A and B are shown apart, each in its own frame.
Chain A
Amino acid sequence: MAGLEFVGVRKTYPNGVKAIHGIDMAVSDGEFVVIVGPSGCGKSTLLRMVAGLETVTEGEIRIGENRVNELEPADRNIAMVFQNYALYPHMSVFDNMAYGLRNRRTPRDEIARRVAEAAGTLQLEGLLDRRPGQLSGGQRQRVAMGRAIVREPEAFLFDEPLSNLDAKLRVQMRLEIKRLQRALGTTSLYVTHDQVEAMTLADRLIVMNAGVAEQIGTPLEIYDAPATLFVAGFIGSPAMNFLSGTVADDGAGANLDGAERTLLVAPPASARRGRITVGIRPEHLEPVSRETAALEVVVELVEALGADSLVHGQLADGGEGAAVTVRVDGARRVAAGEVLSLAVAPNHVHFFDPDDGKRLA
C-alpha cells in the first residue's frame, strides 16, 4: 500500500477545454479522501487521471514514490469501481473477480483463495456462478467491490459508485464501503456529487468547482470554516443562507439588507468598510422572543421532516433575494404567513467578501 500525490496537476483537453487548473495534494497511506463537487467540476477527470484513463497535461501524479504519468492503467496497481459497475456481462461473478488476477498470472489456487475470501467478506458466496445480469443492483455493486479488493491494490478509486442505487441501499453500502476501507486500510480516492456521502465517508475532503480545488480539509473543518462562498453553499444540507449587507460604521456588526436591527456579530478586522456577505446555516438560527431576535423572517413554506422542520421564508423587508431557511425542532408548529423571530448563534456566523467569494478571517 502507498500514499498518493498530486503535484501541480493540470488537464487541458485537445479541444482547448481546461478541466483541471492545478491540483496540489498529498494523500497519506490508508487515508480515505473524497472529491466532491457539482457535475462538470473535473472531479471524475481527476480520478481518471489517477487511473490512467486520461492523460496528464501538466504536473505529476505519484503513487507511492513513483511517478505514474506515463504508466498504462495496468501497471499502476490500482483498482477502480465504476458508477455503472462495468461488470463483464459474459462472465460469471467468479470470473469477473478472477479476471484481473488471471491477467497478472496469479496461481490458480491463490485466485480461488482470494476470491473466496472476498466473496465471504461481501456475502457473495452463493452467487459465484451467476452472471451479472441475474443480480440485483446491490449485489452487482458488491461484485464490483469484490473485483477491486481481490487485486489487493495500492489504492482504490471510486467513481460515484452509489449513485445507481436506491436511497436505502445507498446508506447501507456507504457504511459497508467505510467499514471495508477501515478493515483493509487501503488508500482510497472517492468521487461523488453527494455532499452527505462526502461528509460521512471522508477522512479528508476535496471540494472542487470548475477545475479548482476550492478547499481541502476534514469534513468538519470544511463545515465549520468554509473557505469560499461556493464551499459554504455546497457543503451542508439544507444549504447555508447568504445575506448581503454592509459593515456597520463602528465595525461591531453588519447591517443586513432588509433587516431592521444590526446583526451584532463583529466581522473580522480584515473586512473592509462596505459590502459584505454573511453566511448563516439553517441549524444556527433559533426562534426566540421578539425582543431578543436578530432577524425577522416571514414564513412562506414549511417542510416537516418529523424530527425537525425546514422553514423557508424571506427577511421581513428583504424584497428579492433575501431568502432564509431555518431548521426548527419538529415539535414546533410553524404556519405559512407567520413572522418568525430568530436569534443567531454568534460563533457560527461566516463572513465572505462578495467580490471574490473568499472567507474573511
Chain B
Amino acid sequence: MEKRVVFSKLGLPILLVAPQIVITLVFFIWPASQALYQSLLLEDAFGLKSQFVWLDNFIALFSDPHYLNSFARTVVFSAATAGLSLGVALFLAAMADRVLKGATAYRTLIVWPYAVAPAVAGVLWFFMFNPSIGILAYLLKGLGYDWNHYLDGTDAMMLVILAASWKQVSYNFLFFLAGLQAIPRSLVEAAAIDGARPFKRFWTIVFPLLSPTAFFLLVVNIVYAFFDTFGIVHATTSGGPAQSTTILVYKVFNDGFIGLDLGGSAAQSVVLMAVVITLTVFQFRYIERKVAY
C-alpha cells in the first residue's frame, strides 16, 4: 500500500529534507543539547566562570523539598486541568452534536478562546476573580465564600486551573465534536431501538467509540498543562502565594532567570524534557496502536 519514491541521485532528496532538518537542528536539537550541557555546570553568581559538577545539580534538585513539592503541585494541576477541560469539552461537544439551528455560529463561538493568548486568558480570569473588583469574587462573597487568591494558596491554584482549562476547552471541543460526528448515526439509532436510553447510549456506544480521541486528548492536555501554562501562571499569580502555584515550568523560569541558578534551572528543564519524551513515546506506542477498531 505504501508508495515509495526512489531518487536516482542523492542531491535532490537531501535538498528537499534540508529545511526541516535545519529548523529542527537550530530550534530543537541545539537548545536541547545546550540545556543538557548546562545542567552539568555550576555557574558563579556573576556569570563569569563555570565549573563542571557532573550530576550534582540533579542530586540537589531531588533532595530539595521545594522542588518535590512543586512536582506534586504540577501533578495536581495537570490532572485537574486535563480533567476539567476534557470533561467540559466532552459535555459541550455532546450538546453541540445535537444543535440543528445556528450550529456553525455556536461552534465558532466555542472555538474562540483558543485564539486568546495564554497571558491574556490569565489576566481575564485574574480580573474576574480579583478580590476587590472582580465580579466572580463578588458573587462568591454573596454566597458566603471569601475568595482571595492573593492570600489563599488553594484559591490561587483553582484560579490557575480554571484559566488554563478554559483555554484548552476549545481545542478539546473541536476534536470531540469531530469524533462524535464520525460515529455513524445508525449505530446510535440501533442502540435506541435496542432499548438504550440516551444516557446509556452515550456511555455504552458513543463514549467507547470516542475513546481513541479521548486518549489522544488526554496526553495532549497533560503536555499542555505541564509546559504551555507558563503565561497563565505568570500573568495571574506569579507562582504565589508562598509558591502554592509554582508548577515545574514556572520554577524553571523562576530559579533560572530570577534566582540566576542557571545550572539548577537547566537540570529542571532536562527533567521536564524527559517527562515530555516519556509521554510522547507512551502515546505513540500504546495509544495510537491499541485503541483502534
Binding site for B on A (CB under 8 A): 51-53, 72-74, 76, 78-80, 82-84, 86-90, 99-100, 103-104, 131, 133, 147, 151
B144 touches A (CB below 8 Å): no
Given A89-B209, A133-B293, the answer on whether A84 and B195 have CB atoms closer than 8 Å is: no
Given A82-B186, A103-B200, A131-B293, the answer on whether A90 and B193 have CB atoms closer than 8 Å is: no
| A84 contacts B191, C-beta separation under 8 Å | no
Which residues of chain A are within 8 angstroms of B197 by Cβ–Cβ distance?
74
Which residues of B187-240 have CB atoms within 8 Å of chain A's CB atoms? 187, 189-197, 200, 204-205, 208-209
Of B184, B200, B204, B209, which one neighbours A84 at CB under 8 angstroms?
A: B184
B282 → chain A, closest Cβ, in Å?
22
Chain A to chain B contacts (Cβ below 8 Å), 22 pairs: A51-B193, A52-B193, A53-B192, A53-B193, A72-B192, A73-B193, A74-B192, A74-B193, A74-B194, A80-B189, A80-B193, A86-B184, A86-B186, A87-B190, A89-B293, A90-B209, A99-B194, A99-B196, A100-B194, A103-B196, A104-B195, A151-B194
| A86 contacts B192, C-beta separation under 8 Å | no
Which residues of chain B are within 8 angstroms of A52 by Cβ–Cβ distance?
192-193
A349 → chain B, closest Cβ, in Å?
45
Binding site for A on B (CB under 8 A): 184, 186-187, 189-197, 200, 204-205, 208-209, 293
Which residues of chain A are within 8 angstroms of B187 by Cβ–Cβ distance?
86, 88
Which residues of chain B are within 8 angstroms of A89 by Cβ–Cβ distance?
209, 293
| B194 contacts A103, C-beta separation under 8 Å | yes
Question: Measured between alpha carbons, how far is A207 from B186 in the docked complex, in Å?
Answer: 25
Which 7 interchain pairs have the tightest Cβ spacing?
Answer: A100-B194, A103-B195, A86-B186, A86-B190, A74-B195, A73-B192, A89-B293
Given A53-B189, A86-B190, the answer on whether A74 and B196 have CB atoms closer than 8 Å is: yes
Which residues of chain A are within 8 angstroms of B190 by Cβ–Cβ distance?
80, 82, 86-88, 147
Question: Measured between alpha carbons, how far is A133 from B292 in the docked complex, in Å?
Answer: 11
B101 → chain A, closest Cβ, in Å?
9
Nearest-CB residue, chain A, relative to B196: A103
Which residues of chain B are within 8 angstroms of A83 by Cβ–Cβ distance?
186
